[in-house]
Structure 1
Amino acid sequence: MDQRSDRAAGALLGLAVGDALGAGYEFGSAPFRGEAEMIGGGLGGFEPGEWTDDTSMAVCIAEVTARGGVDLQAIAGRFLDWYASGPPDAGNLTRAVLGAATDAADVPMRAASRFETHPGSCAGNGALMRTAPVALAHLGDDQAIVEAAQAVSGLTHADPVSGEACALWCIAIDRAVREARLDGIHDGLALLPADRSAFWEARLIEAETSDPERFGSNAYVVSALQAAHAAIVSTPVPEGQPSRHLQDALHRVIGIGDDTDTTAAIAGQLLGARWGVSAIPDRWRHVLHGWPGLQADDLVDLALRTVGGASSVLRR
């Protein structure tokens, strides 16, 4: 596997690794003593190495993008398949939208209706946790990334701020895969309207100049992005072993606390996109598994097939 492919596959695998690492510590389920391990447990009673809804929903997207392009109705259909399987844990907004939907076409309509009636509750972190396949499907095409990220977010999280967060994080993943850098999120600011760019620039500066512990309440999509970003930028890149940064930054974001599986999944996408599959320790990779009966190598395959069949087509 060449370096770019290693990084592309790392985006999806890093998501799952962060998710499974953080699952056991979610909302104080287990004490955190400086370094995380795949202990299982958490709110869903997960097995060690088992991923949660964060990765399962990303898999739903990746199964579609691996066939080429972003088909919103197909993704919504897979979301419903996953939800019908009786997952042990799901976000409140996701549960409300999918639980009320009658079919795949109804999913975004339920999300929109939810936003219209409960706008203040529709900007949770549940779309930002699953963005990696969207970025991989459109590498090198910024406008397609932004459009697809916002559209996929809107399937369950119709608040525009969620779509903006997903767009920015997808641009960051694109730059990490294609250019091997971690600061690409700032490139995404120019792709937003001026007032929204100013809003997000201030939030990024806040994350970059604050102790990550400041973002200890991170169910809101903005604070979840800030927690992940703050942990990544505040963690030194070790001299002589730079890829160790992936592990160190994941420990740091989990140490912030609260919704640890999701913030670590968010951070893991970008860290994996920068440092690649090769930076993920075997002890984590070998126990990784989850719905619908997949393991680490299956995620690598989905990621590589997404990149290999990448298309700028967005089908609604």
Structure 2
Amino acid sequence: MSLPPSGTVDDRAVGVLLGAACGDALGVPYEFGPPLPADVVPEMVGGGLGPYAPGEYSDDTQMAVCIAETLRDHDDPLSPEALAATARAFLRWRAEGATDIGNQTARVLGMAAHAGRTDRVARVMAEGATELHASGVPSAGNGSLMRTGPLALAYLDDPRGLAVAARRYSDLTHGDPLAGEACVLWCEGVRRAVVHADLDGVRAGLDLLPEDRRDAWSAWLDEAEARPAHAFGDNGFVVRALQAAWSAVTREDAFAPALASAVRAGHDTDTVAAIAGALLGARWGAGAVPREYVSAVHGWPGYRAEGLAELALAITRRHA
């Protein structure tokens, strides 16, 4: 396939979806396994919990694609129509394409299934997520963070608008504010990386959080920068997932070794690597993704690398 010229905003925009999908597919074979030794090079061999074909991505990218298609088709991501389209896409994915689905997301989508044909579906879904959190059920899983990257492509010039959207799209399935806060930080990281080709956005995103939440997240980022990715073993929890991904991203200086580090963290390997891959692709661009990954990656509802690239560029063009 033909990619945009390296070093351009288009190259980095394509890298968001392509990097996340490749991270996802690279992590699939090792999901819920122990951390990998430093001398093991992860490979896209398939298998895992699916079982998956070599290069096939999982729920992380499948749900990100649901959001990306909404952003491609709607001018205002926060309009009732766009939110309803995303909620309905999640329900269609659950019924037709989910090769895996997290417990929290499964419960919330089940609670909203009856409203799938109505305009209220997004509100019903978000209310279900809020009720689940209020009931005391742990609701700070990594399932909204894993899919959040595409939102940045619709807000490349609007960090505050992006922060609002990141929370709103997280709230569809995850009622714990921690999940929304993580999405705000990571989306700003992705946005700034696409625009400026640096990794300063995650830290800059602290200013987009409520003032009383900034110190906690700053300390968690400090910890991630000081420790290897495998130190954050409970990475099904959104804070640990972000820390594992941030550790991998900041402790290596190129796309491929950082993505491998995210997979070596162990446990929820496809999700940590998908989260890391979105930011790495935004920083280094699609041209930095190994050719063997580009040629192999694919998944529901029929995307390969070229289709993911076209989807990313369609979002940026619509929201320019």
- Structure 2: how far apart are the matches of 1:255 and 1:29? 8
Of 279, 289, 294, the match for 2:298: 289
Of 62, 72, 76, the match for 2:68: 62
Counting only pairs closer than 5 Å after superposition, residues 244-255 of structure 1 correspond to structure 2 as: 245-255=254-264
- Structure 2: how far apart are the matches of 1:272 and 1:116? 36
Counting only pairs closer than 5 Å after superposition, residues 86-235 of structure 1 correspond to structure 2 as: 87-101=98-112, 102=114, 103=116, 104-105=121-122, 106-119=124-137, 121-235=138-252
- Structure 2: how far apart are the matches of 1:84 and 1:73? 17
For each residue in 1:57-92, what CA deviation from the matched residue of structure 2 results, as whole angstroms up to 9, or x when unmatched? 000000010123312111111000100115221111
Of 92, 113, 116, the match for 1:81: 92
What is the CA-CA distance between 1:27 and the residue it aligns to? Answer: 0.9
> Quick one: which amino acid aligns to residue 168 of structure 1?
L
Question: SS state of the match for residue 90, structure 1?
Answer: coil
- Structure 1: how far apart are the matches of 2:45 and 2:35? 9
Tell whether the 8 Å contact from 2:35 to 2:264 is kept in structure 1 after alignment: no
Question: SS state of the match for residue 72, structure 1?
Answer: helix
What's the TM-score, normalizing by structure 1? 0.92
Question: SS state of the match for residue 199, structure 2?
Answer: coil
Of 278, 302, 308, the match for 2:311: 302
Of 51, 54, 57, the match for 2:57: 51
Of 5, 19, 26, the match for 2:10: 5
What is the CA-CA distance between 1:214 and the residue it aligns to? Answer: 1.2
> Quick one: which amino acid aligns to residue 37 of structure 1?
E
Give the match for residue 18 of structure 1.
Answer: 23
What is the CA-CA distance between 1:156 and the residue it aligns to? Answer: 0.5
Tell whether the 8 Å contact from 2:228 to 2:244 is kept in structure 1 after alignment: no
Give the match for residue 40 of structure 2.
Answer: 34
Question: SS state of the match for residue 174, structure 1?
Answer: helix
For each residue in 1:30-76, what CA deviation from the matched residue of structure 2 results, as whole angstroms up to 9, or x when unmatched? 97652111111111211111010000000000001012331211111
What is the CA-CA distance between 1:114 and the residue it aligns to? Answer: 1.1
- Structure 2: how far apart are the matches of 1:253 and 1:31? 10
What is the CA-CA distance between 1:118 and the residue it aligns to? Answer: 2.8
**Using a 3 Å threshold, how does the CA distance of structure 1 residues 288 and 209 change in structure 2: closer, same or farther?**
same
Residue 274 of structure 2 is aligned to residue 274 of structure 1: no
Tell whether the 8 Å contact from 2:141 to 2:236 is kept in structure 1 after alignment: yes
Tell whether the 8 Å contact from 1:285 to 1:296 is kept in structure 2 after alignment: yes
> Quick one: which amino acid aligns to residue 28 of structure 1?
G
- Structure 2: how far apart are the matches of 1:284 and 1:37? 9
> Quick one: which amino acid aligns to residue 290 of structure 1?
G
For each residue in 1:150-190, what CA deviation from the matched residue of structure 2 results, as whole angstroms up to 9, or x when unmatched? 00001111111100000000000011000000121111111
What is the CA-CA distance between 1:302 and the residue it aligns to? Answer: 0.8
**Using a 3 Å threshold, how does the CA distance of structure 1 residues 293 and 116 change in structure 2: closer, same or farther?**
same
Tell whether the 8 Å contact from 1:30 to 1:42 is kept in structure 2 after alignment: no
- Structure 1: how far apart are the matches of 2:247 and 2:34? 23
What is the CA-CA distance between 1:201 and the residue it aligns to? Answer: 0.5
- Structure 1: how far apart are the matches of 2:181 and 2:302? 32
> Quick one: which amino acid aligns to residue 27 of structure 1?
F
What is the CA-CA distance between 1:109 and the residue it aligns to? Answer: 1.9
- Structure 2: how far apart are the matches of 1:307 and 1:86? 26
Unaligned runs of 5+ in 2: none
> Quick one: which amino acid aligns to residue 274 of structure 1?
R
- Structure 2: how far apart are the matches of 1:213 and 1:307? 34
Question: SS state of the match for residue 296, structure 2?
Answer: coil
Runs of 4 or more consecutive aligned structure 1 residues displaced over 3 Å after TM superposition = 29-33
- Structure 2: how far apart are the matches of 1:51 and 1:30? 20
Aligned residues: 302
